[in-house]
Structure 1
């Protein structure tokens, strides 16, 4: 989930826990606690990109990490706010809840979250919501802003923290229902077309939860397409992308390739851009794929030029966007 959502939601939860006990400082503690697992961004300062991909949402997003950090934060806050009437039990519950919610909602994205690190490298991904979804973030953002502005003794504060917490929860549930519907449609379409599929996944297209990116295939290659919740026909216009694993022969022993394979969870293809060998992680979708079905994939890693990969996950998210592309996304999301 994006940082703004974590900060705003964390602030609302801080208000829910402490109300007038520590004043508006509750908003600050909430925002900080909710943001703490993302401290793993510092790994990018010294790790190679291929390793950083696995470090992000790794140990700092694990149950062990939040269990360790909860008493540290609780004792720090308890000491800073003395004298007060807040029990240590409440401090502990607050910080654990904030960080648990952070790692839980991160699991709704397609990046993958290492809840069980370091005991298991399994990544958990519900693939139910885009990493930056304004229909999730706006409610907590509005509520946090209002809570920061209105007086601490206002009777309206309870309404606003509930507004900022419960509406996003309802939206996440709605997204989960959408996910179940798209998955059901995808399985039905794959079976009807008798496609040679051993694995598939679905994930929302950018900034919405009505148009979904679909990938289905096997070790030979993948069928890629989009499906809207409002599509009337039981079909997906798939484009096929071969894996091209044979192209990896010159770099098969490279350490970064092993990291990438693990990170991609087997949803990858190999291509050549000119003389450059490129690793595509299909889970992050295509650049404007709903507009041009043969477009490049958002995540494309240059295996022979690793120095060009500093923005590997981000560089394709909104590449080539303009008014025409944005309108085409809206139309396709509406089933047109």
Structure 2
């Protein structure tokens, strides 16, 4: 989920914690748990700072080790080491339990996004992405804000957020059913599909689709239960040519390939250099595929420039690469 949603979830969890008698009976425990649930709802995304270095490091590591099983166990202990000295009268066991809940819920809800997490590390580096909830879901965020507002007006926070989460659990189930209907329709249209990726959007009934069979890639959109295939591409295996093999050694393309499950590729030859481009097919927007990896190599197959990330126009991509092909 996005940062804002994780913040309001942390506040809501702190309110829900007042149902715990050990929390409600102690001012120190109540205050420390609220701080801990907010911090615990944020701490796994500390790897966002990697974006300050470059996109390749960020893409390869975001929601990786910081969302792993060891991290989920260690983050609460790290937060307690910082928070507990300020609240020595707090119930340490219950403070740990609610801090752990905040960290666990952060990682758990991220699994439902299309981006996913490597939550099974160190047992598996596979990305777990159920693709049911958009990274920012207006209903989930808005419902949390309403719950917090009702709490501020004087309502019992425990009861308020317990009811709120009961509704949200039902909302997740409805999203699951909506995705399943789209999946069934895609299977009807492409009966020989070997892989189907369905990604949510901010609109409840709108979904992005990327699928493949042995010969083609299919990119489409679903509105309610109606599926429309917008683009088709021949599925051509990536050849092991000297140009492509040299490009794969670049950190940006390597990061892209570690993350993207469905893509097509292009190689263009210019007067002074080659350009290798890999295009993720999951994020079609207004006829454009914004998530790419591009590597430019000279005639000796030495890298000149490269980039991976989101670009919404060719002009901006050229600016990032700082090279205009002749």
Residue aligning to 2:198: 202
Quote the Cα distance in structure 1 between the aligned partners of 2:205 and 2:240. Answer: 36
Residue aligning to 2:84: 78
Residue aligning to 2:291: 299
Quote the Cα distance in structure 2 between the aligned partners of 1:264 and 1:300. Answer: 10
Residue aligning to 2:281: 282
Q: Map 1:150-299 onto structure 2 (within 5 A).
A: 150=153, 154-191=154-191, 195=192, 197-204=193-200, 206-218=201-213, 221-231=216-226, 236-243=228-235, 245=237, 249=241, 250-253=243-246, 254-255=248-249, 256=251, 257-265=253-261, 267-271=262-266, 276-283=275-282, 285-288=283-286, 295-299=287-291
The offset of 1:127, in angstroms, is 0.9
Quote the Cα distance in structure 2 between the aligned partners of 1:89 and 1:26. Answer: 11
Quote the Cα distance in structure 2 between the aligned partners of 1:219 and 1:268. Answer: 14
Quote the Cα distance in structure 1 between the aligned partners of 2:87 and 2:62. Answer: 32
Residue aligning to 1:128: 132
Quote the Cα distance in structure 1 between the aligned partners of 2:81 and 2:98. Answer: 12
Per-residue CA deviation, residues 235-279 of structure 1 (Å, 9 max, x unaligned), is: 6334202355558841323333333222112x1112469965321
Quote the Cα distance in structure 1 between the aligned partners of 2:295 and 2:149. Answer: 44
Quote the Cα distance in structure 2 between the aligned partners of 1:268 and 1:210. Answer: 25
Stretches of structure 2 that go unaligned for 5 or more consecutive residues are 297-303, 314-326
CA gap 1:124/1:179 in 2 versus in 1, 3 angstroms: same
Stretches of structure 1 that go unaligned for 5 or more consecutive residues are 289-294, 318-336
The offset of 1:200, in angstroms, is 1.5
Quote the Cα distance in structure 1 between the aligned partners of 2:216 and 2:237. Answer: 9
Q: CA RMSD in A?
A: 2.8
Residue aligning to 1:36: 43
Per-residue CA deviation, residues 6-46 of structure 1 (Å, 9 max, x unaligned), is: 11011100111146534566444322110110001122233
CA gap 1:307/1:31 in 2 versus in 1, 3 angstroms: farther
CA gap 1:115/1:217 in 2 versus in 1, 3 angstroms: same
Q: Map 1:80-119 onto structure 2 (within 5 A).
A: 80-84=86-90, 86=91, 88-119=92-123
Which of the numbers 48, 51, 55 marks the counterpart of 2:57? 51
Quote the Cα distance in structure 1 between the aligned partners of 2:150 and 2:240. Answer: 54
Quote the Cα distance in structure 2 between the aligned partners of 1:201 and 1:145. Answer: 37
Quote the Cα distance in structure 1 between the aligned partners of 2:9 and 2:33. Answer: 12
Task: Say whether the 8 Å CA contact 2:220–2:228 is kept in structure 1.
Answer: yes
The offset of 1:102, in angstroms, is 0.7
* Greater Rg over alpha carbons, structure: 2
Task: Say whether the 8 Å CA contact 2:196–2:210 is kept in structure 1.
Answer: yes
CA gap 1:99/1:273 in 2 versus in 1, 3 angstroms: farther
Quote the Cα distance in structure 2 between the aligned partners of 1:30 and 1:80. Answer: 15
| Corresponding pairs, count | 291
Normalising by structure 2, report the TM-score: 0.79
